[in-house]
Structure 1
């Protein structure tokens, strides 16, 4: 039985929903071109709106094919205004997370709220036994987000992933997981 996640998740302060092409401008303005926000991500800052539009089209296609759930994160008070994304990628018995949040919303516990909610929903699914995420060993804010969301540090993975905004060679990452 494949892992299933809902099309929309509502938390106390957030709405997690399917990306729309109309989200591109707001995402571009909020963070996709911001080098500080994308420092520890696997992609470089977008140079123009077309890159963000192409990314949204890719996300919609992946969603439609059931490969992943790249949720747009919006405030409950403004559900059409994207402020970040939380991507849940499916792998047989587990979900692998990746996330990003516009800088103006850092430090408010929003990503912890989103990650916690999605994790609880995923682990309630009989087919899901593990939700995991990695972060660069220097990305202590991301590590703290995962810890506050109930994840446990399992390992440091050496030479694991390239973060092109820091280095062209693979860097060490922390592996976190929440399991049932």
Structure 2
């Protein structure tokens, strides 16, 4: 797949950029071991830096192979310290996004800013018609983030996603999308 998504996206406060090996230690300190951050994620809190290093290596490989773009979110004044991630998993005509933000940055409107900027850019490209995301039905903060980013609730998907910090059984999720 030819990929026309940029390597970097800038918003008023953030830069969304490619992951670097040196980011793992920052992500581990910022949120990958935080149970509150991981609560609704599809992964358990990481207990070893090596786990985060492996994930960043996976993201870098997927980026190089044009399978996905795991954009790290950094504030303009500190490009070396990521505070979150917006993962764009590429499909034909559709991009499925997931996102995470360190707890101390919650409530500042940073994630809606990042999602909106990414979505506007992606939908301006001829090959993409739909950006979509799911969130657990109990994750009201994530649902609100998507709504603030212009996404519309399309429905409820029963037994859709395993959220290991809540249950080993698949849980219901809401499907949100923004289309052109």
CA deviation string 1:66-89 (max 9, x = no partner): 000001100011111100000001
Match of 2:10 in 1: 10
Q: What is the alpha-carbon distance in structure 2 between the residues aligned to residue 72 and residue 88 of structure 1? A: 11
Q: What is the alpha-carbon distance in structure 1 between the residues aligned to residue 50 and residue 116 of structure 2? A: 32
| CA RMSD after TM alignment | 0.9
Structure 1 residue 167: Cα displacement:
0.2
Match of 1:126 in 2: 126
Matched residue count:
180
Structure 1 residue 96: Cα displacement:
0.4
Structure 1 residue 2: Cα displacement:
4.4
CA deviation string 1:2-61 (max 9, x = no partner): 452100001000010000010111100000000100100001000110000000000000
3-state secondary structure, aligned to 2:24 = helix
Q: What is the alpha-carbon distance in structure 1 between the residues aligned to residue 135 and residue 76 of structure 2? A: 27
The question of 1:67 aligning with 2:63 is answered no
TM-score after normalising by structure 1: 0.98
User: Equivalences for 1:40-79 in 2 at 5 Å?
Assistant: 40-79=40-79
3-state secondary structure, aligned to 1:21 = coil
Q: What is the alpha-carbon distance in structure 2 between the residues aligned to residue 87 and residue 72 of structure 1? A: 8
